[in-house]
A = this chain, B = another copy of it.
Amino acid sequence: MKRPYLALITDFGEDDFFVASLKGVILRINPSARIIDVTHRIPSFDIRQGSFILHSCYKYFPPRTIFLVIVDPGVGSSRPILLAKTKDYFFIAPDNGVLSFTLKSEKVEQIIKVTNEKFFLEEQSKTFEARDKMAPVAAWLSKGTSPIVFGPQIQEYKMLGHLEPIKKEGEIIGSIIYTDKFGNLITNIPKAMFNKLKKEAKKNKLILLAKNKKISSFRESYSQGRRGELFYLVGSLDFIEIAAREASASKKIKAKVGDKLRIVIAGSK
C-alpha cells in the first residue's frame, strides 16, 4: 500500500524557518514521507481564508492524504489540537474553526483531541506547536499509527458561522469569501442555488448587486467577457464569481472578503 501524502497549509509565509522546520521534523520521523505544499500564504491569523483554501482543493488529492492546516492565533493557549478522520482524508489543525468549510462537506468519522505527549518533540516551545506537536503527529500518522492512539475522541469542536448564503424568494443574499490572484471575487453562492433562482426568474434576467454596482452580464468563461466589462460566472469551484477579462474585478469594484452581495430578478425589486 502506497504511503499517504502529507499536504501543508499554513500562514507561515516562505521567508522564514517555519515551514522548513516542519518538513525537517516530519522527515526525521518518517524519511519516506511525501510532502506537498498547498500554500503557506494564508494571511496571518486568517482562519476563514485558511478554511476556504483547504476546502477549495482538498478533494482533488489522493485518498488518505493527511492535511496539516496551521493558522493558529491561539498557539500556546489551551485551545486543543484536532485530528479529524473523514471518509477519505485526515486533517490535523488547531481547534479554531479552520476546518469548518471542509468538515461541513465531508463525512466525518472521528474527531480526536490530540493529547498524547509521547508523539510530541521532547523539547517543546510555547510558540511553535506546529513544529513541536502537530508536525510530529502528522508524521507518525503517515507511518501508520492509528488515530485513536493520539488522544480521546470528542464530539464538539469549533465551527465558523456565516458560511452559507441565504436563499429567499426571488433573491439570494451572499458574501464574498475569497479574492484570487487575478482579482476574481469568489462568492459563497453555489451553482445549484443560483440555478434555482434562475428557474424562479423564468424569462427575466438575474442581476448581481454588489458595492452599489449592478452587474447584469453573465458569461460562461473569463475569455467570453468583453474587455472592461464586469461580469459574473460559475467559477471552477462551482461558486458564483465576479470577474473581468484579463483585469481585476476586485480593483474595479473595490470589494473585499466579507462584503455582502445579492442576486435578484430584474424588475422585481
| Choice from B19, B126, B181 contacting A16 with Cβ under 8 Å | B181
Residue A204, interface by CB 8 Å = no
**Measured between alpha carbons, how far is A35 from B35 in the docked complex, in Å?**
11
- Copies per complex of this chain: 3
Instruction: Mark each residue of chain A from 1 to 37: 1 if its CB lies under 8 Å from any CB of chain B, else 0.
Output: 0100101000011111111110111011001100111
A5 → chain B closest CB, angstroms: 6
- A20 neighbours in B (Cβ, 8 Å): 7, 36-39, 53, 57, 60
Q: Name A224's closest neighbour in chain B (CB-CB).
A: B76
Residue A44, interface by CB 8 Å = yes
- A125 neighbours in B (Cβ, 8 Å): 234-236, 238
**Measured between alpha carbons, how far is A178 from B233 in the docked complex, in Å?**
35
- A224 neighbours in B (Cβ, 8 Å): 76-77
**Residue pair B15, A181 in contact (C-beta under 8 Å):** yes
**Residue pair B24, A127 in contact (C-beta under 8 Å):** no
Interface set, chain A 105-150, CB cutoff 8 A to B = 125-128, 131-132
| Choice from B40, B131, B233 contacting A127 with Cβ under 8 Å | B233
Q: Name A32's closest neighbour in chain B (CB-CB).
A: B2
- A53 neighbours in B (Cβ, 8 Å): 16-17, 20
Given contacts A21-B56, A21-B60, contact A223 B27 (CB under 8 A): no
| Choice from B38, B75, B180, B222 contacting A75 with Cβ under 8 Å | B222
Residue A45, interface by CB 8 Å = yes
Q: How large is the interface on A (under 10, 10 to 19, 20 to 34, 35 or more residues)?
A: 35 or more
- A221 neighbours in B (Cβ, 8 Å): 75-77, 126-127
**Measured between alpha carbons, how far is A53 from B28 in the docked complex, in Å?**
19
- A241 neighbours in B (Cβ, 8 Å): 127
**Residue pair B236, A127 in contact (C-beta under 8 Å):** yes
Q: Name A53's closest neighbour in chain B (CB-CB).
A: B17
**Residue pair A24, B62 in contact (C-beta under 8 Å):** yes
**Residue pair B76, A222 in contact (C-beta under 8 Å):** yes
**Residue pair A44, B182 in contact (C-beta under 8 Å):** yes
Q: Name A35's closest neighbour in chain B (CB-CB).
A: B36
18 new A-B contacts at CB < 8 Å, known A21-B56, A21-B60, A24-B62: A7-B20, A14-B40, A15-B180, A17-B39, A17-B57, A19-B39, A20-B38, A23-B36, A23-B61, A25-B60, A35-B36, A44-B182, A76-B223, A77-B223, A77-B224, A125-B236, A126-B234, A127-B241
